[in-house]
Amino acid sequence: MASRFNIFLIFNTIFLVLMLWAFDGHCAIDDVHDADILMISGRMTDTHGKPVKSVSVSLTIRDAHQTMTRETVTDDDGRYTIKTPFPAGTLPAAKIHLEARKPSYAPSVTKDIHTVKAEARDRGSTFYLAETDLIMKRIVSPALWISAAVLLMVYILIGFEIVHRTSAALAGAAVLLGISHLIGPFFSEFDIIRFDTAARAVDLNVILLLFSMMIIVGISEKTGMFQWLAYSCYRLSGGRIPLLCAALMGATALISAFLDNVTTMLLVIPVSIQIAAALKINPIALLLPEVFASNVGGAATLIGDPPNIMIGSYAKLTFIDFSKNLAIPCFIVLIISIFFFLLYFRHEYSQSQPESHGRETDDPSSRYAITDARLLVLCLIFLGMTILLFMVHGMFEMAPGVAALMGAAALLIMSRVDLVKLLEKNIEWPTLVFFAALFVVVAAAEESGLIHLIADYVRNVSTGSYVMSLLIILWTSAIISAFIDNIPFTATMLPVVAYMTTTVHPDQANGLWWALALGACLGGNGTLIGASANLVTVGMAEKAGHNISFFKYMRICFIPMILSILVCSAWLLLVWK
């Protein structure tokens, strides 16, 4: 019995010693007796004023007897805080240095930091406070060259159709992550993008939105709704194909002004393919004009396109501001685009055979009837609820992807469709994977400083002349957004335009913001990879048996994109000069 008691006593003694040690370590910062406690904080930003995260911050304190070092890492907002005790009397006579390091940035060092002595707390500790912000300057590093080369490689593989675009994007992401993790730990200049950064770069909102709307559209197809709409549109057109194309472009642009472009195209594409089948023409002659109109309509409002949402939030611009300033040029661009596509596809439209199709379907109930009225009602209810959530999602600080997911999940449960077959048949998995991989490749270009250097060029060239500022921001945004996703580019340009608006051209109101919005949104029409809606359209057309290559898309849409930017140039100079 005594031996058991002794063992119990020994264990309790060890436990109490460990607890006291842990308690003493926990209180070492705030409750040290007779100590100098240094608390230094600040923020790391780049030359555009954007916060720089994951910067290694090293604090060095030297006195006559010793050198002490403390380290930390900046958070997502670029802020850091170091709070640590030193022996009493150390700080007043010590030399305090701060050094910041991150791959693709030049080291930033601050010497002889001056502290402010705060009131002494009880138990004899004295606080010394300092606030030190540092500006991190980008450098041309191996990481930048590698990310630029990989980005170019991906575009070449896609453009020349050497491999499938999803394989090209996956290969690019694999190369960047592989170099970063295999070579980066040994040579920091090759640390391009880490896995955690790549994971955050994948826009889950976009993926959820695509996935959820594919589910809604896939279930809706089972009702015969799209076939019925195709037949109705065909009958209403009266066989006048140019009028039908113009009407479809106008309707698509209007819907895209209030819904996101991807959702609009997911709803319009199945109908358009059925209409093309009814008219016996290539669906591409309808799909490309529609996706072009979708991007034009999305540029007209605050909620129509992600770059506009970012600009509105950063510059505190309202829905009315966007509509008042962008609706007119976008309407003009839409009219010009309609005439361009009618002219471009005039031979395709002239080869349609609506008369023969009409004779084959005198009784539309045989081929175009609604096949499941109950399911159709459910689809319309939940689709309407989803659209309503899209329109009010800003009030609830809810991402559009969440709204779409709620509608898709509810429809799945109520409709009781075969989920496995739906996932196999109606979900464009290659498109979703392509988006995820491309987000990583573009994020690497941003991390390495490639997009930053482009923004620096715009700021330096356009300084001084307001007209040049308008035109350079508009055209640079348009050309870059045609080949690089416009979201990271817009994010990089926001502080540039803000700086130019408040310091270089403070008397010119918001003209530069409209130049950025028009360039980023309309420039996405230039190539297949310029906008998310383009990729979705091409993916669904490919699934229907109609391939649209990178250069085919560019050959058809790049010229009207340039025309649209010319129209916007004239409008900006007329209104904002």
pLDDT digits (tens, 9 = 90+) for 206-231: 788 889 888 988 898 788 776 676 66
Q: Give the residue, 509 or 47, on which the prediction is more confident.
A: 47
With 50 as the cut, is the pLDDT of residue 363 above it? no
- Average of per-residue pLDDT across 434-462: 82
Q: Which of the listed ranges 186-190, 234-238, 327-331, 480-484 does the model predict with the highest average pLDDT? A: 327-331
Q: Give the residue, 435 or 513, on which the prediction is more confident.
A: 513
pLDDT in tens, 151-186: 889 888 887 778 888 999 999 999 999 999 999 999
pLDDT computed for residue 464 by the predictor: 64
CA-nearest of 526, 503, 14, 515 to 295 is 526
pLDDT computed for residue 29 by the predictor: 40
Report the relative pairing of strands 134-136 and 35-46 from DSSP bridges. parallel
- Average of per-residue pLDDT across 485-495: 75
Question: In 27-141, where does DSSP find H-type helix?
Answer: none
DSSP letter for 114, please: P
Q: Give the residue, 337 or 205, on which the prediction is more confident.
A: 337
Q: List the single range of 45-49, 458-462, 468-472 with lowest mean pLDDT.
A: 458-462
With 80 as the cut, is the pLDDT of residue 459 above it? no
pLDDT computed for residue 21 by the predictor: 47
pTM over 0.95: no
pLDDT computed for residue 395 by the predictor: 76
- Helix and strand totals (H; E) in the chain: 23, 9
CA-nearest of 296, 268, 295 to 283 is 268
Report the relative pairing of strands 126-131 and 35-46 from DSSP bridges. parallel
Q: Which of the listed ranges 397-401, 477-481, 567-571 does the model predict with the highest average pLDDT? A: 567-571
27-136: CATH homologous superfamily? Aromatic compound dioxygenase (2.60.130.10)
Which residues lie below 8 Å from residue 74, measured CB to CB, with a gap of 6+? 43, 44, 51, 52, 53, 54, 55, 57, 80
CA distances (Å), 81 to each of 50, 97, 260, 455, in order? 18, 14, 40, 30
With 70 as the cut, is the pLDDT of residue 105 above it? yes
With 70 as the cut, is the pLDDT of residue 427 above it? yes
- Average of per-residue pLDDT across 46-50: 79
pLDDT computed for residue 377 by the predictor: 92
Q: List the single range of 258-272, 310-324, 353-367 with lowest mean pLDDT.
A: 353-367
pLDDT computed for residue 167 by the predictor: 93
- Average of per-residue pLDDT across 526-553: 86
Q: Are 126 and 112 spatial neighbours (Cβ–Cβ below 8 Å)?
A: no
With 80 as the cut, is the pLDDT of residue 114 above it? no
Handedness of CA 473, 476, 482, 485 (dihedral sign): negative
| Residue the block writes with tokens 């396109």 | 305
For residue 492, name the pLDDT band (cuts at 50, 70, 90). Answer: confident
Question: What's the rounded Cα separation, in Å, for the pair 129 and 127?
Answer: 6
pLDDT computed for residue 410 by the predictor: 94
With 90 as the cut, is the pLDDT of residue 555 above it? yes
DSSP letter for 500, please: I
Rg (CA), the chain: 30
Distance between the two ends of the chain, CA-based, in angstroms?
A: 97
Which residues lie below 8 Å from residue 5, measured CB to CB, with a gap of 6+? none
Question: What's the rounded Cα separation, in Å, for the pair 286 and 344?
Answer: 12
With 70 as the cut, is the pLDDT of residue 251 above it? yes
What average pLDDT does the structure give for the chain? 82
Total count of residues recorded for the chain: 577
With 70 as the cut, is the pLDDT of residue 529 above it? yes
pLDDT computed for residue 560 by the predictor: 96
